[in-house]
């Protein structure tokens, strides 16, 4: 799934990004930053957000 597909899914479900973030125990500001491309999601919490959203697989972290 892409970020745009994820955003469309939320719209179809009638959910805001903030609601999804809170339901999944992420700070809403971090989710907005990831979905808007400010944070790339290669590791850490940003990666966890993308994995939970179904955009990345949990094991797709970049090696350090």
Helix residue ranges, H only, the chain: 3-13, 17-23, 28-35, 44-53
Domain interval for residue 44: 3-53
> Is residue 27 one of the residues assigned to a domain?
yes
- The whole-angstrom separation of Cα 4 and Cα 54 is 12
Q: Give the model's pLDDT for residue 36.
A: 96
Work out the end-to-end distance of the chain between its first and last CA atoms, rounded to an integer number of angstroms: 25
- Of 58, 56, 50, which is closest to residue 20 (Cα–Cα)? 50
Q: Give the model's pLDDT for residue 20.
A: 98
Over its length of 64 residues, how does the chain's per-residue pLDDT go in tens digits?
999 999 999 999 999 999 999 999 999 999 999 999 999 999 999 999 999 999 988 776 555 5
> Is residue 58 one of the residues assigned to a domain?
no
> Is residue 39 one of the residues assigned to a domain?
yes
How many domains, in total, are found in the chain?
A: 1
Q: Give the model's pLDDT for residue 59.
A: 72
């Amino acid at each position: 799934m892409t970020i745009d597909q994820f955003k469309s899914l939320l719209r179809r479900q009638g959910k805001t990004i903030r609601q999804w973030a809170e339901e999944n125990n992420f700070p809403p500001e971090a989710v907005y930053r990831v979905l808007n491309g400010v944070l790339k999601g290669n590791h850490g919490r940003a990666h966890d957000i993308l994995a939970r959203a179904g955009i990345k697989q949990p094991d797709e972290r970049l090696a350090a």
